């Protein structure tokens, strides 16, 4: 049975590239009827962020990437925190020492640095000559008498090569002589990632190690460790990294300012910031970043849209088809269709996936998504408020690309007296056109007679008004929109008027007329 794993370090929040790697592992396990394990690689105590762990778990749950074994789930191979498996790692280090595949090294950092600098001066590759290696207890005591402390290093081969059969990269060959004697246990007794990861993969019975390509250079030393310990070698697959927008470098959560130079990335960020501001959200600067999964959850993306987009960052079915439901992803995914080249993160394309999926939702499903944002804005206090949100959601249609976009239509919810005007729109549509104020005042006088108050009747009556006044509908409808909404953009004008109701429309027209009289022209 195939067993895959994703092993994040809680040193930061869930990166969009990490999610792509986790998705591929999850799909492989689900497609084969295997198991997907979540393990927390928290051996780097100095960099671990406790606050980052829960968002990682919550982010996976929101995306629908569930795990069969791991934190908050348990399983037969617990614990699933690497820091809690230190005894196993230490025992493995002792076995490597006993078999001669590792040694105690008493070199001081400054001594090693001098050797490296000498190699650089001599223009040769640095290879540690093991001069402070202790292969016997007597040698160890001698070094310790000098006040030295030992780390444990791998005793890497100096001849031959490591051959790795990678399901994405093909056959990879690495000369053993190019590998350093890597430290696997620190002087304080704690073990490093390379050893801990190999031991835990073995103990968790991982059959396929599917990870980002930046781990490929780690693989020869890990192969040496596992073979020295007598472990079976897992199947490797190193995925291309997710590249930055419009570039080839790896996407990084620390390059937000740089990415904002990309117009599509900047537009996505502004979109999110506008939603956060309208909802009065308190956002964390570290997580409110389109490279972090939490950003998308906070502004109302659909998990399936994100998964569909991430699937195509390094994988293709036939080079043409792009839209997949999750069950189709599971059924069709195979590692042999993963490309070797990095795929650039494209915010515009991600938004297109999102907008298409949002547009296809039934109204009840869409309402369930937008209501939390309406509540954040204080618009919903009961069934009446929910019904108005429903009407706005229906009328807005495809203008709601993410759930937080419901907040664009605050003019449908604010008190009439609290309505504010876009100054440029007010100038252009109400103050500048000759007779606009008079037309608004005359139409307001006809509002009481419009019955029933629905979009079709309002449209018919406004057109009749224009015919009688000898004007085109454009001469009043733009002024009417600004008067009742405060802005020049929105969904259908007649649907807007229906939702607002005759009393609010009349009151707002009157307010706009009074405002026009006060504006210094």
The neighbouring-strand residues paired with 134 are 104
Task: Give one word for 230, left, alpha or beta, with left for phi > 0 and alpha for psi -120 to 50.
Answer: left
Q: What is the pLDDT of residue 382?
A: 84
Q: What is the pLDDT of residue 45?
A: 60
Catalytic residue among 123, 250, 253, 463: 253
Listed as ranges, residues in the chain with pLDDT below 70 are 44-50, 520-521
Q: What is the pLDDT of residue 44?
A: 67
Q: Catalogue the E-assigned strands of 138-285.
A: 151-154, 161-166, 170-175, 183-185, 208-212, 235-239, 242-243
Mark whether 155 is an active-site residue: no
Residues, the chain: 521
Task: Give one word for 175, left, alpha or beta, with left for phi > 0 and alpha for psi -120 to 50.
Answer: beta
Number of alpha carbons in the 13 Å side-chain half-sphere of residue 251: 28
Report the candidate in 298, 446, 435, 442 with the shortest Cα–Cα distance to residue 376. Answer: 298
pLDDT, tens only, 44-86: 665 556 677 888 999 999 999 999 999 999 999 999 999 999 9
């Amino acid at each position: 049975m195939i067993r895959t794993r994703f092993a994040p370090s809680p040193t930061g929040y869930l990166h969009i590239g990490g999610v792509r790697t986790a998705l591929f592992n999850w799909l492989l396990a689900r497609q084969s009827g295997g198991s997907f394990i979540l393990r927390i690689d928290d051996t780097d105590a100095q960099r671990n962020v406790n606050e980052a762990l829960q968002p990682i778990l919550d982010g996976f749950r929101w995306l629908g990437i569930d795990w069969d074994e791991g934190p908050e789930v348990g399983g037969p191979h617990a614990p699933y925190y690497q820091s809690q498996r230190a005894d196993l790692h230490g025992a493995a280090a002792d076995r490597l020492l006993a078999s001669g595949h590792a040694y105690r090294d008493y070199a001081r950092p400054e001594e090693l640095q001098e050797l490296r600098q000498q190699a650089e001066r001599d223009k040769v590759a640095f290879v540690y000559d093991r001069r402070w290696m202790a292969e016997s207890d007597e040698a160890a005591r001698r070094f310790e008498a000098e006040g030295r402390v030992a780390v444990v290093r791998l005793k890497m081969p100096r001849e031959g090569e490591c051959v790795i059969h990678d399901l994405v990269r093909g056959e990879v060959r690495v000369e053993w002589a190019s590998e350093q004697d890597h430290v696997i246990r620190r002087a304080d007794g704690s073990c490093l990632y390379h050893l801990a990861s190999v031991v835990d993969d073995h103990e968790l019975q991982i059959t396929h190690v599917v990870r980002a390509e930046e781990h490929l250079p780690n693989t020869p030393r890990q192969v040496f460790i596992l073979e020295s310990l007598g472990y079976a070698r897992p199947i490797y697959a190193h995925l291309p990294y997710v590249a930055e927008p419009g570039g080839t470098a790896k996407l990084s959560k620390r390059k937000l300012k740089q990415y904002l130079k990309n117009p599509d990335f900047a537009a996505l960020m502004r979109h999110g910031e506008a939603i956060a501001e309208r909802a009065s959200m308190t956002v964390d600067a570290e997580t409110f970043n389109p490279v972090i999964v939490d950003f998308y959850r906070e502004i109302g993306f659909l998990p399936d849209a994100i998964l569909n987009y991430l699937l195509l960052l390094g994988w293709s079915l036939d080079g043409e088809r792009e839209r997949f439901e999750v069950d189709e992803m599971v059924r069709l995914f195979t590692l042999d269709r993963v490309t070797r080249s990095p795929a650039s993160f494209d915010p515009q394309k991600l938004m297109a996936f999102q907008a298409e999926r949002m547009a296809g939702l039934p109204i009840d499903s869409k309402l369930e998504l937008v209501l939390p944002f309406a509540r954040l804005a204080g618009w919903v206090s009961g069934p009446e408020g929910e019904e108005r949100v429903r009407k706005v959601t229906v009328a807005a249609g495809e203008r709601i690309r993410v759930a937080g976009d419901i907040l664009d239509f605050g003019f449908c919810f604010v008190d009439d007296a609290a309505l504010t005007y876009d100054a440029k729109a007010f100038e252009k549509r109400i103050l500048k056109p000759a007779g606009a104020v008079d037309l608004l005042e005359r139409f307001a006088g006809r509002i009481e007679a419009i019955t029933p108050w629905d979009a079709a009747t309002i449209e018919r009556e406004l057109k009749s008004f224009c015919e009688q006044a000898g004007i085109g509908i454009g001469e009043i409808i733009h002024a009417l929109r600004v008067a009742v909404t405060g802005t020049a953009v929105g969904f259908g004008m007649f649907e807007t008027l229906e939702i607002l109701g005759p009393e609010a429309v009349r009151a707002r027209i009157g307010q706009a007329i009074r405002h026009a009289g006060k504006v210094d022209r």
